[in-house]
Structure 1
Amino acid sequence: MTDVFSNLGSLTTVDLSFNSLTGDLPEGLSSLSSVKTLNVANNRFTGWIPSQLKKINSLQTDGNSWTTGPAPPPPPFTAPPSNRRKSPAKKDNGSSSSDGKSGISGGAVAGIVISLLVVGAIIAFFVIKRKRKSKREEHFEQHQPFTSFPSNEVKDTKPFEESTTIDVDSLASPASVGLKPPAKIERNKSFDDDDDFSSKPVARKSSTKPIKAVVYSVADLQIATDSFSMDNLVGEGTFGRVYRSQFNDGKVLAVKKLDCTVIPFQSSEDFVELVSNISILHHPNLNELVGYCMEHGQHLLVYDFHRNGSLHDLLHLSDEYSKPLSWNSRIKIALGSARALEYLHEVCSPSVVHKNFKSSNILLDSEYNPHVSDAGLASFIPDAEFQTAEQSAGCTAPEVDMTGQYTMKSDVYSFGVVMLELLTGRKPFESSKPRSEQSLVRWASPQLHDIDALDRMVDPALKGLYPAKSLSRFADVLALCVQAEPEFRPPMSEVVQALVRLVQRANMTKKMLDGDASRRGDDQDQDFI
């Protein structure tokens, strides 16, 4: 760096930081006895810091490549040249020259003036630059966006019609019809992780977007659930207990009382963020959020209540007097549930991994349309902390048991397990069975491509009332879903397409099924749902 400081003895503040300056410090800086503040930080200076500079009260030298160790001895002092001109030699006549004048020459004055102008321009340039930089940073902090899932409006959603023929027009439409994909947000880490955008910690911002859900008071929910009495307890799942609630206007809803040991909320803002994220998940086959309550330390979610309970209860807890699910009803439930997962995986952005897909989380309304519950709840919990009893009960993918990592492909595996339950009427894991038959997937997988074995595996409650080809195609789809290697499992959009084709073919064989039923002379087909 050029030394322009030798003649600037009146400087008190010098700021040369953040300029990528190289080489040794200018020697002129050491001679500036009036300097009180010197900032040469974040450059590329090398060599030693002169001992004279270390006496400055405010000295900043970080961010350079200084040489360590003792500094070399200073060079020997050399007297500076005099500014006076030497007297010219006397002339022969003994008189001295009359033009020999003392003082500073015009060139020296010009040099000082030019040096001052250069230093002033440098200082002004960096002052303006720092002001612009601070304005940009302030603008970024004020306008840094926080995005969340936007609400999606479902228009003209046509429910499935419960009959021996499935309404394929309402099933064949893609998952995104009438649904706007949520805005993309960067949320690859857990909600509890701090986002480190700079050297200083930045507090997570809460969503300012209004939550489209009803805010209930604890008093209202206590009245509606009779103080959360056991008589109104309808189930207990991974995230807490669910109670039936009936309000003064006659409306019946389900209240989920979250277990804070499973979802450890650090503050009320965490719960509000969770509610915000799940309240805008909208699909006809999702159990959508109606409202919430966060008074007195409680964390309560209010959902629609579905009178026919869960698929698990209908398949595994029904008595001999209960009406069994018909084959077409089972296909309808599989297709609706697949559409819900397709929406979470391929329409939502970023994708939502359910992590807890199972038959007890598939709720059935009065027409036996499926509604997948708990969507978005597990996203609040890091994979390493999310542990469920189903990991040892045959519902989760093998890679989850080994690594604890949940992905969309692990959801596909869990969906395949539900399809097996629909096919066989058996639970994912039954300890009462012989050891070779305890795991439903291990027992069923080798037999899925054997027609004769399929007939023996199918749920006895169906009493043979199903098309053999439909049964075989159903088995082909689920066999792909329960592949041991996740890369061989299809995405949910392909599963949906395969099930839609199965429905279309099932409707074509309806007459064959009716004819077969009449030839059997079995009037119990009227008892099927």
Structure 2
Amino acid sequence: MARAAWAAWLLVLMCFGAWTPRQILVAAATDANDVTALNTLFTSMNSPGQLQGWKVSGGDPCSESWQGITCSGSSVTAIKLLNLGLSGNLAYNMNTMDSLVELDMSQNNLGGGQQIPYNLPNKKIERLNLAGNQFSGAVPYSISTMPKLKYLNLNHNQLSGDITDIFSNLPSLTTVDLSSNSLTGNLPQSFTSLSSLKTLYLQNNQLTGSINVLANLPLDDLNVANNHFTGWIPNELKKINSLQTDGNSWSTGPAPPPPPFTAPPQSRNRRKSPGQRSNGSNNSSSGGSSGIGAGAIAGIIISVLVVGAVVAFFLIKRNQRKGAMPEHYEQRQPFNSFPSNEVKNMKPIEEASTVQVESLPSPAAVNLKPPPKIERNQSFDDDDFANKPVAKKSNAAPVKATVYSVADLQMATDSFNMDNLIGEGTFGRVYRAQFSDGKVLAVKKLNSTALPRQSSDDFYELMTNISKLHHPNLSELVGYCMEHGQHLLIYDFHRNGSLHDMLHLSDDYNKPLSWNSRVKIALGSARALEYLHEICSPSIIHKNFKSSNILLDTELNPHISDAGHSSFVPDAEFQASDQVSGYSAPEVDMSGQYTLKSDVYSFGVVMLELLTGRKPFDSSRPRSEQSLVRWATPQLHDIDALDQMVDPALKGLYPAKSLSRFADVLALCVQPEPEFRPPMSEVVQALVRLVQRANMTRRMIDGEEASRRPDDQEQEFV
């Protein structure tokens, strides 16, 4: 009996022992989002067999100890798969890995000449290392959404283009390595915000301009060798322990003195961030006192005396002139009657080479108060008025855009000859400009609609706002002109024209857009709107999104134009043109108010254009087919009807599944109720998934069959 009892207890203990690990296993199950992202990553990397434990679907990475995966509880915190010969690309949904702290995929063959995917982990990521791969395109702007990032390494890839202003909100970043790529342009102003940066490697690129933006960073290690930098190496940088600057075009001789408006060193030191090193010894002798020293008091007294003397001098001179000159002559006395040394010491004006000194206030107006605002009805010529806002904006951050003269633009456009007219829209006419050095640009001559008040202040603000927008799928502002009352914006020129012309204008020299190209254009355009809506702060509503504002480069990459113009134009101006063109959302027709969701609707209309090859509104068609949205939306979920809707120019060369998914996305965008339309980030993710699924399907198809597909060069979208 006793033996039976002991046997029963033993059986219970064995069952308990067998049960306990199972319960622990369940408790340790990996977060579902992390599992899905790792499954997708495995597939995106062509399912490499050398990765132990990894699976195409399902699994438990944390408890099954997948190779290179580190977990904390049920969350994946690190992915380290370096130097394994991996190919393919990263997953499109890695941004769902909310607990990932480190991603190291360095020294592989990832990318295959494609851009770094936008949806990188961003919430907790501290270390991002994609060095030694084959990624192309620009440094991804999604890095700007990684507030905890400390280490960034993208060296030895194929990155190109300018480094955009993505570093403004990365206070923890200590190491940046962008070396051995093909990056161009000047260093971004946002580098000045990297208050914790200790190591910066930029060598072996094609970067230009000066390196002054690095002067006040707390750097210990800086390498800018083998670029095209010019100017002088700032003295602050010469004190860095590890500094490499060879292979650039530095200026020789003593550096020029700082401009008169530069703050004195004492003020700049007081504004230093805690991480910056002091260049002097004042701190050690200050004893923590915040009072004003005797030298400072003496300086203030001298300054007051000098100012008083100058004011008294001109008051006397003014009284003397009153008896000898008519009043109207005195009021228009030019500023250059000041003594030359006084003019020299005045606060300089940006773009001083084009500013006329006569545009400043007359001596009679000079006192200790700010100069009076110049009104439009005063007797100043066009040059004076055109440069007025530049003077007003002298304290603002410099605009990174080239200043062109009207004469330069007249020569480049043959006096704005109609033969060079390449487009006309809500904001003005666009001309092709061929410069003497061979460069071709697009010049937009703004009309009264773009600047209702015809104010140069408004133009300067508009141009400044546009110059801050940087995205691979936005048309980049490269220059401006504001002379003789003219307001012109200069952009990159895109040789393939607009999507509207590509779709709707017959041209014997252009072959129809393939299905792959159409998906590519839709995805790039969606990413541009996502940037305006969800990355820019405050959000920017485009208001004028349509196929004629989607410009195509030689690789058929889309570049959205007119971004940033909307705040200066009344909604009624857009509404009048949209109602005719067919891009206007229903709520805009009723209320006249534009929102982010009305942009989403317009994007859906463009997707319909891409799918059908039809114009949004075509009066030449039967009445029931004139409005593209009304005609198409009832048929989007009918497979047979959908096939009949497809652009005949495609000649049936498209994948049925991709077409159906494309239609599903656009159907969500053109819903009549704005609250049911998705945000652009979800649209981007849906289109990326469409591409991702197509990639998976393509890899499973026999190579001989794949070779018979149209447009092999773009198979990633088939």
> Which interval holds the TM-score relative to the shorter structure?
0.5 to 0.7
How many corresponding residue pairs? 344
Does 1:217 pair with 2:405?
Answer: yes
Does 1:177 pair with 2:365?
Answer: no
1:291-440 aligned at under 5 Å gives the runs: 291-319=479-507, 322-440=510-628
Stretch deviating more after TM superposition (206-215 or 254-263): 206-215
Q: Residues 182 and 440 (structure 1 numbering): CA distance in 2 closer, same or farther, change over 3 Å?
A: farther
1:437-516 aligned at under 5 Å gives the runs: 437-510=625-698, 512=701
Q: Residues 371 and 525 (structure 1 numbering): CA distance in 2 closer, same or farther, change over 3 Å?
A: closer
Q: Residues 334 and 182 (structure 1 numbering): CA distance in 2 closer, same or farther, change over 3 Å?
A: farther
Higher CA-based Rg: 1
Deviations 1:74-101 (A, max 9, x none): xxxxxxxxxxxxxxxxxxxxxxxxxxxx
What amino acid is the match of 1:210? P
Q: Residues 448 and 438 (structure 1 numbering): CA distance in 2 closer, same or farther, change over 3 Å?
A: same
What amino acid is the match of 1:418? V
Identical-residue share of aligned pairs (%): 76
Q: Residues 270 and 214 (structure 1 numbering): CA distance in 2 closer, same or farther, change over 3 Å?
A: same
What amino acid is the match of 2:553? D
Pairwise CA RMSD of aligned residues? 2.8
What amino acid is the match of 1:460? P
| Contact 1:290–1:302 (CA under 8 A) maintained in structure 2 | yes
Q: Residues 406 and 450 (structure 1 numbering): CA distance in 2 closer, same or farther, change over 3 Å?
A: same
Structure 2 CA distance for aligned equivalents of residues 306 and 482 of structure 1: 29
Deviations 1:97-151 (A, max 9, x none): xxxxxxxxxxxxxxxxxxxxxxxxxxxxxxxxxxxxxxxxxxxxxxxxxxxxxxx
The aligned counterpart of 2:309 is none
| Contact 2:442–2:490 (CA under 8 A) maintained in structure 1 | yes
Shift of 1:326: 1.2
Does 1:249 pair with 2:437?
Answer: yes
Q: Which runs of 5+ in 1 are unaligned?
A: 1-164, 184-202
Give 2:451's match in structure 1, choosing from 263, 279, 295: 263
Structure 2 CA distance for aligned equivalents of residues 178 and 252 of structure 1: 32
Q: Residues 494 and 524 (structure 1 numbering): CA distance in 2 closer, same or farther, change over 3 Å?
A: closer
Structure 2 CA distance for aligned equivalents of residues 487 and 351 of structure 1: 17
Deviations 1:425-454 (A, max 9, x none): 111011111111100000000011111111
Q: Residues 222 and 168 (structure 1 numbering): CA distance in 2 closer, same or farther, change over 3 Å?
A: closer
TM-score (norm: length of structure 1) = 0.61
Q: Which runs of 5+ in 2 are unaligned?
A: 1-111, 122-139, 145-165, 170-372, 374-388
SS at match of 1:301: strand
Shift of 1:166: 10
Shift of 1:386: 4.0
Shift of 1:267: 2.6
What amino acid is the match of 1:435? R
What amino acid is the match of 2:595? T
Q: Residues 441 and 515 (structure 1 numbering): CA distance in 2 closer, same or farther, change over 3 Å?
A: farther
The aligned counterpart of 1:286 is 474
SS at match of 2:527: helix
Q: Residues 224 and 168 (structure 1 numbering): CA distance in 2 closer, same or farther, change over 3 Å?
A: closer
SS at match of 2:548: helix
TM-score (norm: length of structure 2) = 0.45
| Contact 1:172–1:500 (CA under 8 A) maintained in structure 2 | no
SS at match of 2:634: helix
Using CA pairs under 8 Å that are at least 6 residues apart, name the structure with larger relative contact order, 1 or 2.
1
Q: Residues 513 and 457 (structure 1 numbering): CA distance in 2 closer, same or farther, change over 3 Å?
A: farther
Structure 2 CA distance for aligned equivalents of residues 166 and 456 of structure 1: 36
The aligned counterpart of 2:267 is none
Shift of 1:346: 0.3
Shift of 1:526: 7.4
Q: Residues 258 and 456 (structure 1 numbering): CA distance in 2 closer, same or farther, change over 3 Å?
A: same
Structure 2 CA distance for aligned equivalents of residues 213 and 525 of structure 1: 38
Give 1:227's match in structure 2, choosing from 402, 410, 415: 415
